[in-house]
């Protein structure tokens, strides 16, 4: 099949799971076109992301004149469809914080996208994230474009379900995807019960071949790694406070923070405040090879998140046979099993986080190796990207049939 993917911003360093999903669909024989509203807003480090950037068609780069011309063509082609889409825009704008003008831009983008998809012969349109890209997909369908589906990840979509018109997007979609059973439950909250059967679960996937025989856990001081955007939902400052609690009692515990973002200065200030500059390393964004090497050098991944979908880095750490310390939120407990593959703690509980880090510090290497082996087995059974992409492709083909 010829499938188009649409996103708001693509690629991004945190979107490797989308890149892998697309690659798995292409490996299975499907043709995938990439569309995004705009390009990445941070420098791309990974060569694979740079390649995706070159293959992506950017809608807003066409310019205002092209979007206006596409809108006029949409109106002239089918006034009834255009007016229906315009009504959808007005209803969505009333619920949203972004207002009518922003939604009229989405309509113009949808008109442009519809023309591009028709020329390309695309049979199905799939959006990632239930935000504006899915709104454009829905409007494109209203204008006579192909059937669409979309994947929600959380937590952003679940923070503002009414403002994002999630129920409406689900209703008009051929099907909607959540990446965990928890995510599916959140979509069911805002969908008509009659639409529940079309809400599917497709896990984000990893490539088992990228995780050959895992590196043995290192001897010496215990090392933790945390990977993610430096934003409020990821909870890195709580992790630094937990490290501060252990500064004197566990001087051989080291933490590496991989990522960057708007809270970097606050994180740096917190590290300085607690005198932890020699105990915490900040790397910025790094490529996939560096992530692999940092996991190999660590005894565990720690994810102190306040809100999540189901973090890809948890899957990658488990595939590398590393135990995981994470918070008991969203889809994480569906993957991380307490005392089997890692530790789960209440979100925001700095003391509980420090206690879990202490338990990891004090555990014999043999026990950590056993947890890592169980983690690896579990994630391969649940998150093989080839199998998960095949599920998505089957749902799309069912729509075509």
Per-residue model confidence as pLDDT tens digits over 27-81 = 999 999 999 999 998 889 889 999 999 999 999 999 999 999 999 999 999 999 9
144 and 229 belong to one structural domain: no
Domain that holds residue 128: 2-205+384-400
Angle between the 264-273 and 236-245 helix axes, to the nearest 10 degrees? 10
270-287 per-position pLDDT tens digit: 999 999 999 999 999 888
373 and 388 belong to one structural domain: no
For 125-158, b where at least 16 C-beta lie within 10 A, e where not — what string?
A: bbbbbbbbbbbbbbbbbbbebbbbbbbbbbbebb
Number of domains in the chain: 2
Run of H or E including 127: strand 124-128
259 and 394 belong to one structural domain: no
pLDDT computed for residue 287 by the predictor: 86
| Cα–Cα distance measured from residue 228 to residue 127, given in angstroms and rounded to the nearest whole number | 22
371 and 238 belong to one structural domain: yes
144 and 251 belong to one structural domain: no
- The pTM of the full predicted model, rounded to 2 decimals, is 0.91
| Cα–Cα distance measured from residue 4 to residue 187, given in angstroms and rounded to the nearest whole number | 23
84 and 150 belong to one structural domain: yes
49 and 196 belong to one structural domain: yes
- Low-confidence stretches of the chain (pLDDT < 70) are none
Run of H or E including 17: helix 16-27
| Cα–Cα distance measured from residue 108 to residue 355, given in angstroms and rounded to the nearest whole number | 53
| Cα–Cα distance measured from residue 343 to residue 375, given in angstroms and rounded to the nearest whole number | 12
Residues with Cβ within 8 Å of residue 117, at least 6 apart in sequence: 4, 125, 140, 145, 146
CATH number for the domain that contains residue 103: 3.40.50.2000
388 and 331 belong to one structural domain: no
226 and 322 belong to one structural domain: yes
pLDDT computed for residue 13 by the predictor: 84
Angle between the 365-382 and 312-319 helix axes, to the nearest 10 degrees? 120
154 and 231 belong to one structural domain: no
368 and 396 belong to one structural domain: no
Q: With contact defined as beta carbons under 8 Å apart, do 310 and 179 qualify? A: yes
378 and 389 belong to one structural domain: no
pLDDT computed for residue 98 by the predictor: 81
């Amino acid at each position: 099949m010829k499938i188009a993917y649409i996103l708001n911003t693509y690629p991004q360093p945190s979107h490797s799971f989308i890149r892998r999903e697309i690659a798995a669909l292409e490996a299975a024989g499907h043709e995938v076109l990439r569309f995004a509203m705009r390009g990445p807003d941070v420098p791309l480090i990974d060569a694979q992301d740079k390649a995706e950037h070159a293959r992506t068609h950017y809608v807003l780069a066409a310019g205002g004149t092209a979007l206006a011309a596409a809108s006029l063509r949409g109106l002239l082609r089918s006034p009834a469809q255009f007016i229906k889409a315009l009504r959808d825009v007005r209803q969505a704008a009333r619920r949203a914080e972004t207002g009518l003008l922003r939604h009229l831009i989405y309509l113009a983008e949808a008109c442009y996208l519809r023309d591009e998809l028709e020329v390309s012969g695309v049979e199905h349109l799939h959006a990632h994230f239930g935000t504006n890209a899915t709104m454009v997909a829905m409007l494109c369908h209203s204008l006579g474009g192909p059937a669409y589906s979309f994947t929600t990840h959380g937590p952003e979509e679940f923070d503002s379900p009414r403002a994002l018109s999630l129920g409406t997007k689900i209703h008009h979609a051929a099907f909607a995807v959540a990446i965990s059973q928890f995510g599916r439950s959140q979509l069911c909250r805002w969908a008509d019960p009659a639409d529940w059967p079309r809400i599917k679960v497709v896990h984000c996937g990893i490539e088992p071949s990228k995780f050959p025989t895992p590196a043995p856990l290192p001897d010496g001081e215990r090392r933790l790694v945390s990977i993610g955007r430096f934003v409020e939902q990821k909870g890195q400052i709580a992790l630094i406070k937990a490290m501060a609690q252990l500064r004197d009692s566990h001087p051989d515990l080291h933490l590496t923070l991989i990522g960057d973002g708007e809270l970097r200065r606050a994180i740096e200030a917190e590290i300085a405040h607690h005198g932890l500059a020699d105990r915490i390393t900040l790397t910025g964004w790094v490529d996939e090879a560096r992530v692999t090497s940092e996991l190999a050098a660590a005894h565990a991944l720690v994810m102190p998140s306040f809100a999540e979908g189901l973090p890809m880095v948890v899957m990658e750490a488990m595939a590398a046979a590393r135990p995981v310390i994470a918070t008991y939120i969203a889809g994480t407990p569906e993957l991380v099993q307490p005392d089997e593959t890692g530790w789960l703690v209440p979100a925001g509980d700095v003391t509980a986080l420090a206690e879990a880090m202490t338990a990891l510090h004090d555990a014999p290497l043999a026990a950590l190796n056993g947890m890592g082996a169980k983690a690896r087995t579990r994630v391969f059974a649940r998150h093989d990207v080839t199998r998960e992409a095949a599920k998505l492709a089957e749902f799309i083909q069912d729509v075509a049939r």
